[in-house]
Structures are given as C-alpha cells and as structure tokens.
Amino acid sequence: MPSSFFRASPSRAKRLELVSLEEPLRESFEEDVLRGLTAAQKRLPCHWFYDEAGSQLFERICELPEYYLTRCERSILEQRAGEIACLFEDPTTLVELGSGSASKTRLLIEAFLERHGRLVFAPIDISRTMLEESASELLDDYPRLEIRAFAGRYESGLARLAAGRVSPKLTLWLGSSVGNLDRRQAAVFLRKLRAGMSAADRLLIGVDLRKDRLTLEAAYDDAEGVTARFDLNLLARINRELGADFDLEAFAHRATWRPDSGRVESRLVSLREQTVRIEALDLEVGFAAREAIHTENSYKYSHHEIEWLARAAGMLRERHWLDADGLYSLNLFAPA
Ligand code: AVJ
C-alpha cells in the first residue's frame, strides 16, 4: 500500500519530539532523608511524595470532596478555555510545567485547536514515562497537535525553550503547585521564568486562595484518610527503598492552617516514644512521643499577595478568573 495513503494527517511519529534533558538525581533521596531526620526539627522534602504509589494516591486526593482545588480549577478552565485561547495569535506554543497526566490541559488544547486549527504543546516533566504515556494519548486524540516534550527539571526545559526563541507562548503552571514554595522562592522561580518571556508571552498560574480554617484543614486531612496515607507513604517509601522499619501505625498525619504565614503545614506525628532503624544509612532515629516530621507546606494567597508575586517576578496580573464559590484562582501574568 502506498504510504501516501496515510497522508491525510501527518504521522504520529512526525508530530512527537521527546528530549531528555538530564538524568534524574538518584542519590539525593538518601541525602535528604539523612539530613531531614537528623535535624533538630525533623523534616522531609515534599517532592519525594511522588513515587508510583504516591502519585496514585495524589490522583485519588484530586477526586476527594474535601480537596476542592482540582475541581475548582477544572471548572474555571471549562468556562474560560475558549476566552483564554482567543487572547493568543496563531501559532501559539502551549508550555506546561509538571504536566503529569495533563487531564485539565486538554480543555485548553481543545480550545486552541478550535480557534487556530493547530497547536504545539511543550510539556516539561521530570517523569519521562509520564510524558510518553500522556503524549501518546494526546497524539491519538488530536491529529492537528504537535508535541515537543522535555523530560527534566523545569529550569532546563524553560532554558531550552528560551534559547529556541519560541513565541508567542502560553506557559501553564496549574494545580497550585506554586504553593509548595515559600513566597520568596516563588518570586525567584517566576523571575527566572520571566527571563525567558517575550512581550507577547503569558503565564497562566493556578493559585489557591486564603480561606477559613475548617475548609483548609479538611482539604489536607480528608475523612476517608487518603491524604493521611499519601503523607505516610513517605515513611513507607523509606522502608521500601532504604530498608527502614517505620511502623506506619505509630505515626499520624496532621494538617494545620497557619494564618500568619498563610500556609497549611502537614506533619507526621510520632504516637509514642520510639526508635527507627534505617539500614541503607546505617542510622537509628529516635522519636519522642508527639515529636513531628514536617512534610509539606501549602501556601495560600490573598488577591493582594498574588499581585505582589507578579510584580516581584517582573510581571503584572493582567487577568484573573475564579470558580463560582471564589475558592480558587487562575491568573494570567504578563511581562511588566
Ligand atoms: C500538588 C502541591 C498542589 O499542596 O495542595 C495535596 C499537594 N498535599 N494534598 C497541595 C497535596 C496534600 C498539593 N500540591
């Protein structure tokens, strides 16, 4: 059969480019566990949540009634994707930081394809497997979509895009991921992102808003206990990968809203005095009763603080949209 028979839309292979930017750092899990559990105030960095089990638990968190963030963000995109696509010229490149399974992104991809008939999607994600899976599904579903994916750290992917002088581009940073950084770190990161933006480029950033304690603490400690298992998976992961003997029944998950700093703090609290052995580190860690490991901060913003963040990064909040209950915000930042 002549190959021209298939030329109705460009072949899948021609529409996909996947670049691996660097090897993921392997040794730093051990280093982070060693440093974090020998510190005076015990802590573990939250990015280690996301192994296979943790990523699955996170997907379940996103479906929980208490975890309004995902639902609200999706509802804003359902209502506004068309309007957002109309703000950009053809051909626009849609960049996404930490796209994961890219399910909410489909709403924007569809809106851009409807408006312009074509689109380049450039997801940047640390997980190459995740990128391969979601790219293959997107290419099947959208014959006019081209994908230039980057497997690596955000900074490396953004540097590649900046070097390629791709413009106009809309960069997506969804899911309130900015909330894991403190406010200064957030401004520093966005300033780097700003450095690779031209006048026509925009950032669409999902930011969770400050609200009452009850709503916030329930969102981070749901009735079914999924978030507790997500937090405890960090200890399970240390057991699995570093040969530790954490008793998961002897720790409890706690979420506390701190209005002064404007963040929800997640902790694993030791329910009794105990000693844990971590084989791979040849380390014994002592816990007093009620002693905690700080595992995550989830920063919340007022509208004022979002405007501050944009300015601190050399940008302006040009537009913003809220869900019907005003719990969550999507913000369009433009270079100042
Ligand atoms: C993925 C960082 C946005 O902080 O809301 C959900 C992670 N932790 N439940 C958040 C999370 C507990 C989430 N982010």
What are the tokens at 118? 């074509």
From start to end of 109-259, where are the E strands? 119-125, 145-151, 169-173, 202-208, 251-258
Quick: pLDDT tens for 202-232. 999 999 999 999 999 999 999 999 999 999 9
Whether ligand 1 lies within 6 angstroms of the CB of 179 is answered as yes
315 has which bridge partners? 335
Question: What angle is formed at CA 48 by the lines to CA 231 and CA 260, rounded to 5 degrees?
Answer: 60
In this prediction, the residues of the chain whose per-residue pLDDT falls under 50 are 1-7
Distance of CA 36 to the CA centre of its chain: 22
The pLDDT value recorded for residue 210 is 99
Q: Does the predicted TM-score (pTM) go above 0.85?
A: yes
Atom of ligand 1 nearest to the CA of 176: 3
Question: Is 295 close to ligand 1, i.e. is its CB under 6 Å away?
Answer: no
For residue 296, the ligand 1 atom closest to its alpha carbon is 8
Q: Is 298 in the pocket of ligand 1 (CB under 6 A)?
A: yes
Q: Which residue has the tokens 């280093």?
A: 31
Residue nearest to atom 2 of ligand 1 (CA): 177
SS3 category, 331:
strand
Would you state the pLDDT for residue 9? Answer: 65
Q: How far is the CA of 9 from the centre of ligand 1 (A)?
A: 39
Task: Give me ligand 1 centre to Cα 62, in Å.
Answer: 9
167 lines ligand 1 (CB under 6 A): no
